[in-house]
Amino acid sequence: MELDSVVLENGGKQLNGGAAGVGHHLSNGVGSDGEGSGPSSPNSGEGGVGKVGEDGELMKKPAGPLDDKLKQKRVRKLSRSNSKDGVLGVAGTPNFVAPHRKWKNSRRSRNGYGRGLPKKGGAGGKGVWGKPGSEEVYDELDEDPNDPNFDIDAYNSSHNVELKEIVVQPTEAEVCKKLETIILEYFEHGVTHEAADALDDLLPPGMKPLVIKTFVSVALEHKQSQRELTSVLISDLYGRIVTREDICGGFDLLLGNLTDIMLDTPDAPHQLGNFIARAVADDCIPPKYAYQSEREDLDRNGQAALVRATTLLSMHDGWGQLDNVWGVGGALRPVQTITQQMYLLLQEYLLSRDLSEAQRSIKELEVPHFHHELIYEAIIMTLEAFNESTEVAICELFRTLDSTCIVTPEQMEQGFRRVYEDMTDIVLDIPLAYSILDRFIQRCQRAGSFMSEALIRDIPTR
């Protein structure tokens, strides 16, 4: 077949052949039969193909409204990436993300600088905590004094503020409570420098006389050994914690409050006079302080305390004997001394038959671990007396000591068994010791239940 002419729509050029024949027009969507696809054809191009004009040129068909709709429906389909998918998509095709969506959710810097770290060091964005330490930075608002709503008082109160350290001073009741704890702990360990260390940072300058007042007040409610410890503590605190004026001020407070102290300690004037005399002997206060017994600012009890101190300081033996003004208490005394004091105590009781005085004297000995010696000495005195009145008095004393728990049952039994063990030697001096002891134990058994059945059953016989 010979081609007469071929008209190309894209180039707009016409090719002429050597022979005339039927003209075949080739275009996008034009077949060999010279008929093009219509608008409804799926292969139709842009605008379609029109007729051939007189001059042999191909004429375009104007685009209709249907072509515009088809043009708008052409949407470029892109494969979406999924975090759960691998490198390949669902259908086996590689995942691909459009460049304009690739950096949408990235937190890296977009200005081309930096090391690819999150923007603002993690301090920006919604729901973040901010940079470490940013909570301590407060941006002050700029305030304009020319603003009609400007509050000069509020501005001055927030800008003209000077912070000063305020040391809260403890009250007198709080100081006294802490001092009581210190002195009670000191009675347990007896170490003066530990008590002084506890007082270093406790006392305000104007409350040092409370040390003497509190320590002496607590010591008046205790025994002689604790009072001796208190006098030693006052002497060691002098020059380190308290001065001479502080000690005198503390004694003045005690003298002025002596009437109330006597409600708990009836012999407080006598004991306070001992404290004052001991402080003078230790060179803590001047001697003239004790000789002011006629002071008008003191009542009768306060003057009596100073008279007691004056009497002790005026003794011809000198002030050296004031070191033992409280005696030597507890286990610090020799055994012979304690035994002699117990013997004198029993002799005084047999003469006066005063049970309350005997109980007080036994308590002042402060040797509860040595009460078995008291029972032993009392039984020996009963065997030596060889009379019924002594047996009755000693039996009543034992019953009272057991009922008041001054002497424990263990100490009571230990004292009786010591007599049992020594009966072979006692009978050499007291021939009737076995009969007297048997009669005395029967009397004690009838008087009360302070003797155990085993103790009664183990009575020695000749």
For the segment 323-348, the average pLDDT, to the nearest whole number, is 81
CATH code assigned at 396:
1.25.40.180
**For position 428, what pLDDT does the model report?**
92
> Could you tell me if 180 and 319 lie in one domain?
yes
CA distance 66 to 284: 123
d(CA 333, CA 222): 19
**Pair (176, 320) in one structural domain:** yes
| 418/291 same-domain check | no
Assess if residue 270 is contained within a domain: yes
- Assess whether 319 and 395 both reside in one domain: no
Number of domains forming the structure of the chain? 2
**33-37, 87-91, 263-267, 278-282: which range is least confident on average?**
33-37
Assess if residue 61 is contained within a domain. Answer: no
3-state helix, strand, coil in the chain (%, to 5): 55, 5, 45
Q: Are residue 315 and residue 396 in the same domain, yes or no?
A: no
85-127 confidence digits (pLDDT tens): 444 444 444 555 555 555 566 665 566 565 655 555 556 666 6
3-state secondary structure of 203: coil
Higher pLDDT, residue 315 or 328: 315
Q: Which of 49, 1, 4 is nearest to 23 (CA)?
A: 4
pLDDT confidence tier of residue 177, bands split at 50, 70 and 90:
very high
* Partners of 94 in the β-ladder: 88
The closest of 228, 218, 226 to 274, measured between CA atoms, is: 228
Are residues 214 and 264 located together in one domain of the fold? Answer: yes
Asked if the structure places residue 367 within a domain, the reply is yes
Look at residue 450 in the predicted model and tell me its pLDDT.
83
Taking residues 213-239, report their average pLDDT.
92
Q: How confident is the model at residue 167 (pLDDT cuts 50, 70, 90)?
A: confident
H or E segment to which residue 5 belongs: strand 5-7
Q: What residues contact residue 48 under an 8 Å CB cut-off, 6+ apart?
A: 29, 36, 37, 38, 39, 60, 61, 63, 67
Please state, for a pLDDT cut of 70, what percent of the chain lies above it: 67
CA distance 365 to 328: 9
Q: What is the pLDDT of residues 65-85, one digit of tens each?
A: 555 555 555 544 444 444 444
> Of the candidates 324, 352, 380, which is a domain's last residue?
324
The domain boundary, picked from 324, 345, 380, lies at 324
Question: Which of 261-270, 296-305, 329-338, 444-453 has the least mean pLDDT?
Answer: 329-338
Domain contains 258: yes
**Is pLDDT larger for residue 61 or for residue 377?**
377
The enclosing H or E element of 342 equals: helix 335-352
Q: Are 340 and 316 part of one and the same domain? A: no
Residue 355 has pLDDT above 90, yes or no: yes
Is 179 part of a structural domain of the chain?
yes
Quick check: pTM over 0.75? no
The last residue of a domain, from among 305, 324, 343: 324
- Structural domain that includes position 438: 335-458
Shared domain for 187 and 319, answered yes or no, is: yes
Question: Cα separation of 113 and 5, whole Å?
Answer: 63
DSSP 382-403: HHHH-SHHHHHHHHHHHHHHHH
Q: Quick one: 261 and 394 in the same domain? A: no
The Cα-based distances of 224 to 8, 365, 401 in angstroms read 137, 9, 21
Residue at 221 is within a domain = yes
CB burial of residue 136 (10 Å; 0-12, 13-18, 19+): exposed
Residue 376: inside a domain, yes or no? yes
Instruction: Report if residue 23 sits inside a domain.
Output: no
Residues 315 and 351 in one domain: no
Q: Average the pLDDT over 285-308 and give the result.
A: 89
Q: Do 399 and 309 lie in a common domain?
A: no
Task: Indicate if 182 and 302 belong to the same structural domain.
Answer: yes
